[in-house]
Structure 1
């Protein structure tokens, strides 16, 4: 009888889902379920850390930062992208210390966003999780939240998953966060 090597301890769990899909709620549930402490990082907290001058209320191909248009569309400029790369390297550095990282992401560029993280997380054991939610459900959650640009959730519901490959996917449309978190936790070593 041959035995394979034991699975690598998971360093990073990346949850990718559109706005209001439930990724933040799932991450909090995972922190409670997983046996060791995990730190959370998310694109929302990264955006909140930016100088206000880099976040504008209109999407523009020439803006240096992040443009959030009234219709929910988003543009990303070169200064935003450079700062995002630095932030990603910092998150990866924390994971390389042995601290577990739960990452709340929105891959606006689909596979391109995942590839940026793959390069940054090279050498780490990563669990890729797709968090799906029906556009109409995400839009209803968005409206109830009141802290998002209307239309963002519906426009991102499918966009963020284009070309992305996952180890596991969950759908929060009709499945409660605790159940989804248990499904994800079962894949974390």
Structure 2
């Protein structure tokens, strides 16, 4: 089985790429999103030190929102990664849509060792991310800026995409061609 990790900051185009990949790959792939797991949290644990919490500051005259993870949030994300592995164990190819740190990717590598684990760096220039973030209207302003600065640090990827100049379908074709999927 194949697990394809799409990793990048918010508004980089991971979800659009995942949907395009589902239309393009030869074999079927499930699309499993980190955001789906976040939406399982009870509302009272929104911005809570045990799960996930954030602080917005001004940097270079622009808001920067740092999203941090508490112990229950870390447990939820480990569960997310193990859910991806469980689906692969059951015979599914999986597209994992995540905002993962280097430690998170190391955990993926450990739990997905029996499978073909492929990593794709999904990125775009900061100005593009911020424009998308604002246009979406469903994201905290400044989150993309913070993630853009730090999310790819220390991660060796199999393939990289800049989504600023590619449609999701064109990006999906590049991924499929590169990996032969």
Same fold per TM (> 0.5)? yes
2:26 is the counterpart of 1:35? yes
Number of corresponding residues: 173
2:5 is the counterpart of 1:14? yes
2:71 is the counterpart of 1:78? yes
Aligned to 2:61: none
**Contact in 2 for aligned 1:21/1:157 (Cα 8 Å):** no
Q: Which runs of 5+ in 2 are unaligned?
A: 57-63
Aligned to 2:131: 140
Aligned to 1:121: 112
Instruction: Output the TM-score relative to the length of structure 1.
Output: 0.86
Q: How does 1:40-189 map to 2 (within 5 A)?
A: 40-56=31-47, 63-70=49-56, 71-107=64-100, 110-186=101-177, 187-189=179-181
Q: Which runs of 5+ in 1 are unaligned?
A: 1-9
The Cα RMSD (Å) is 1.4
Residues 29-61 of structure 1, C-alpha deviations (whole Å, 9 max, x = no match): 0000012221111111110112222221x7xxx
> Do the aligned partners of residues 151 and 43 (structure 1) sit closer, same or farther apart at CA in structure 2, a change above 3 Å counting?
same
SS at match of 2:152: coil
The structure whose Rg is larger is 1
More strand by percentage? 2
Instruction: Output the TM-score relative to the length of structure 2.
Output: 0.90
| In 1: Cα distance, 2:145 partner to 2:164 partner | 13
Aligned to 1:4: none
**Contact in 2 for aligned 1:127/1:188 (Cα 8 Å):** no
2:16 is the counterpart of 1:25? yes
| In 1: Cα distance, 2:44 partner to 2:110 partner | 29
